Amino acid sequence: MKFQSVLLSAVALAAAAGAQAAPAKVADGKVLKAVTESDLQQLVLAEGHTVDELHPFEAPSVRGKTADGLYFLLIGTACDIGKVKGCQGAMMQVRYDDDESVTLEGVNKANMEEAAIGTWWDKEDKTVGFTRYVVMDDGVTWLNLRQNLRVLLDVQASTLKYVFPESEKK
């Protein structure tokens, strides 16, 4: 059940190594109507995690890593639309490789029991994911964005027992 990884290039590793202190701090009360890749990077750092990779996807994105070794993704969505610069949405995800214990019933149970995040299973790609999506159309505070990441990381941990009933992760 290892994190579904995206191949790292030598350039990405070098960028991630120097990326730990790059963005300026954001005040908790600041209202954001859009985020940039730099904001996503700062979000990872503001929560005490490390940046493992910058720009792992075509969209503005960051792969973070908790002190416990859990990888997670922050992906900007609805980017540079109309007159709005930046991304008006932020998808936060944790992904795992599936195993033989994953069932549709378990994924459905996870969705019913833990509505704060969406749980999904891509059988073809052999990936199980947990997602929290934040829409910033009329603005969210920086602290609210931070709290959304906390919710994803906390709730996915308690949801593993439904998706991976035979795993040591639960």
Domain ranges (residues) in the chain? 10-163
- Using alpha carbons only, give the angle 86, 93, 41 rounded to the nearest 5 degrees: 45
Which tokens belong to 23? 């963005």
Domain 10-163 of CATH type 3.90.550.10? no
Residues of the chain by 3-state class (helix, strand, coil), percent to 5:
30, 30, 40
Supply the pTM of this predicted model.
Answer: 0.83
In a structure prediction context, what are the per-residue pLDDT tens digits for the chain, which is 170 residues long?
A: 444 433 233 233 333 444 444 456 778 889 999 999 999 999 999 999 999 999 999 999 999 999 999 999 999 999 999 999 999 999 999 999 999 999 999 999 999 999 999 999 999 999 999 999 999 988 999 999 999 999 999 999 999 999 999 875 55
Nearest to 59 by CA among 31, 88, 29: 88
